[in-house]
Each structure stands twice: as C-alpha cells, then as structure tokens.
Amino acid sequence: MNPNHLKEKKYKKGIAVLSIVIPLAVATLFGINLKKMGFNVEPLSFLPPIYASINGITAVLLIASIIAIKNGKIVLHERLNTLAIICSVLFLVMYVAYHMTSDSTKFMGQGMIRYIYYFILISHILLSIIIIPFVLITLMRAKLGKFSEHKKIAKITFPLWLYVAVTGVLIYIMISPYYV
C-alpha cells in the first residue's frame, strides 16, 4: 500500500475524532461553572477582550495568508496558516476558561439589533463547529502534497474560517457593554 495513502487514512481518522471531540469537549466544559461547583476561583473577566483580539488577529493572518499564496510565497502562506491555527486554539482555551469561571453575559440589546446579534451568534457557533474538519482536511491535503485538492477545499475553508474569526470580534463588540 502507498505510504501516502496510509498517512492519509491515519490523518482522516484523527480529523474525524477531533471534529467530534473538540465541539463535545467545548460544550461540556462550557456547561461547567467552577464557582457553582464550590471551587474558589476568580472570574477570568479579563479574557474576553483578549480572545476577541485573537479572533481579529486570526482574520488578519488568514487574509495575509491568501495574499502570500497569490504572490507565490508558499512558506509564508504555510507559516501564516499555522499561526492562524495556533490563534484559534488559544482562543478556544481562553473562551472555555472564561466560561468555566464566569457567569454567561446576557445580551440586553432590543429591537432589530437583538435579531442581528443572535443571527451572528448562532451562525458563528454553527460555523465554528463546521470549520474544524475543513481546516484539518485543508491542512492534511497540504501536508500530503495534494495541492490541487488543497486549493479546492481552501476556497471553501478560507471564507468560512474568516467569517468565524470576524464574527467572533463582532459578537464581542456587541456584547461588551453588558459585561459586569
């Protein structure tokens, strides 16, 4: 059997596992409030502007990555995408840590802005789950040297991931007046 085929099979198993485990872990941890469980923890209330900024940095990295590859700068493209993945992981860790130590903030906006906020929030959450396998498959195809297949899926992955990063910032901006 072709060694690349074996690698791809191994990658696909890992992608499938991560695509299920990450959202389940986040959902589970999101529902755990350490204070309510009796732990004496300080709320990590300083984290939301940091993880919102990390979402913004992710968006900039993704745009820079596209510019790099369009200019034939493959190594720069790869490094920028690696940084974007690291930023996304950092965001996730901080987001979960915040919600494990703090009560959720309620959006208090009224009228049309409320509908806009919830549309952005729901689409952001759904696409943040959907984007996981897309990012991992796109990465796998690049690592395996399947660049035509990488390019095809990247055309889907890029706008979805950019949307998730940008809407993460918008959500923070919209809800930040209601943080206690």
Q: Report pLDDT for 170.
A: 97
Statement: residue 1 has pLDDT above 70: no
* % of the chain with per-residue pLDDT over 90: 81
Q: Report pLDDT for 143.
A: 93
Domain boundaries defined on the chain: 3-178
Q: Note the pLDDT tens digit of each residue in 2-29.
A: 777 888 899 899 999 999 999 999 999 8
Q: Report pLDDT for 71.
A: 98
Q: Note the pLDDT tens digit of each residue in 39-69.
A: 889 999 999 999 999 999 999 999 999 999 9
Statement: residue 162 has pLDDT above 80: yes
Contacting residues for 140 by C-beta, under 8 A, at least 6 apart: 8, 11, 12, 15
State the average pLDDT for the chain: 94
- CATH number belonging to domain 3-178: 1.20.120
At 179, the pLDDT band (50, 70, 90 cuts) reads: confident
Range in 24-33, 61-70, 74-83, 150-159 the model is least confident about: 24-33
pTM above 0.75, yes or no: yes
Please state, in angstroms and as integers, the Cα–Cα distance from residue 132 to each residue in 7, 144, 178, following that order: 19, 18, 29
What is d(CA 125, CA 32) in angstroms, rounded to the nearest whole number? 18
Within the chain, residue ranges assigned H as helices are 3-30, 47-70, 74-101, 112-143, 147-175
Q: What is the mean pLDDT of residues 142-156?
A: 96
Number of neighbours of residue 76 by Cβ within 10 angstroms: 15
Amino acid at the residue 27? A
Q: Note the pLDDT tens digit of each residue in 95-146.
A: 999 999 998 889 999 999 999 999 999 999 999 999 999 999 999 999 999 9
